Amino acid sequence: MSAVKILIIEDEVLIAEHIKDYLVSFGFSQVFLAHTKKLAIQSIDYLKPDLVLLDLHLQQPKDGLDIARFIDDRGGPPYIFVTANADMLIIQEAMHTMACGYITKPVKKADLFASIQIALKTIVKPDTAFLLIKENNSNVKLSFDEILYIESSSNYINIFTKTQKIITRQSLEWAELELPENQFMRIHRSYIINLRVIQRTNSKSVFIGETEIPISRGNVSKMSDYLKKKKA
């Protein structure tokens, strides 16, 4: 369960933290919070959570419905409404969304656990966690998690993994399209890195193992934003 990312959208900080404590006790380690509609939408786009716990009423009575429709329009992720809202009209509107559950406040630990387990069963995990490349006239599946970084080299790219260097006739632009943006970032015209294996950074470089990889000036702010969100 530690690999499952859950986003809690709740404007009352204490309630959000209380729910987060429950999730941590269930074994979920990647739990994120958003307290406004704007931040919620940004977090859905950036974090790409596996599950969202969504309060119907944020700053405005229909903020939760707007977020739900935003999620529905984009085809996921699954979400559960968590609310004390007793407005029947809003509840009726909520029934027309694609929510996979509804929990009332105050949230009970057992109810939360059961609803999450049901919701997670709706998540389809296709076999797409691989980069398909050609090596020596053969198609090779390379796990995303095995990739450390990719370097452009003329008409080829060098893919550095934990155990080897693979050379394939592709462009860095192709790799950027094929790789998940929540795990990989192009930080230089010649480099894409696996964000999960960064060991340290400075204003000009990231370090993966003993390898120093430059950050181009145009990508400094993008990397800075990522690091700030990671710490949040």
Domain spans of the chain, in order of start: 5-120, 130-231
Decide: 175 and 194 in contact? Cβ < 8 Å. no
Mean pLDDT, rounded, for 11-18: 94
Mean pLDDT (the chain) is 88
In this prediction, residue 128 carries a pLDDT of: 56
pLDDT at 148 over 90: yes
50-59, 132-141, 184-193: least confidently modelled range: 132-141
- Whole-number pLDDT of residue 141: 83
CA distances from 57 to 6, 54, 115, 124, 204 (A): 19, 9, 20, 29, 43
pLDDT classification of 144: cutoffs 50, 70, 90: very high
The residue to which tokens 């990231």 are assigned: 206
Residue 132 pLDDT = 84
Q: Which two tokens stand for residue 176?
A: 């950027």
The larger pLDDT score, comparing residue 137 to residue 75, is at 75
pLDDT score at 1: 52
Non-local (6+) Cβ contacts of 167 within 8 A are 135, 153, 156, 157, 158, 159
71: nearest Cα among 61, 83, 63: 63
Query: How many other C-beta atoms lie within 10 A of the C-beta of residue 88?
Result: 8
**Cα three-residue angle 92-98-104, rounded to 5 degrees:** 55
pLDDT in tens, 95-135: 888 888 889 899 999 999 999 988 887 665 555 578 888 77
Adjacency order of strands within the sheet including 191-194 = 165-168, 156-161, 147-153, 191-194, 184-188
Predicted local confidence at residue 7, as pLDDT = 97
On whether the 130-231 domain is CATH 2.40.50.1020, my answer is yes
Q: Specify whether the CB–CB gap between 172 and 152 falls below 8 A.
A: yes
pTM > 0.75: yes or no? no
Q: Can you tell me whether residue 76 is helix, strand or coil?
A: coil
CATH topology of domain 5-120: Rossmann fold (3.40.50)
- What phi and psi, each to the nearest 5 degrees, are found at residue 27? 110, 5
DSSP per-residue string spanning 1-59: -TT-EEEEE-S-HHHHHHHHHHHHHHT--EEEEE-SHHHHHHHHHHH--SEEEE-S-SS
Is the per-residue pLDDT at 178 higher than 60? Answer: yes
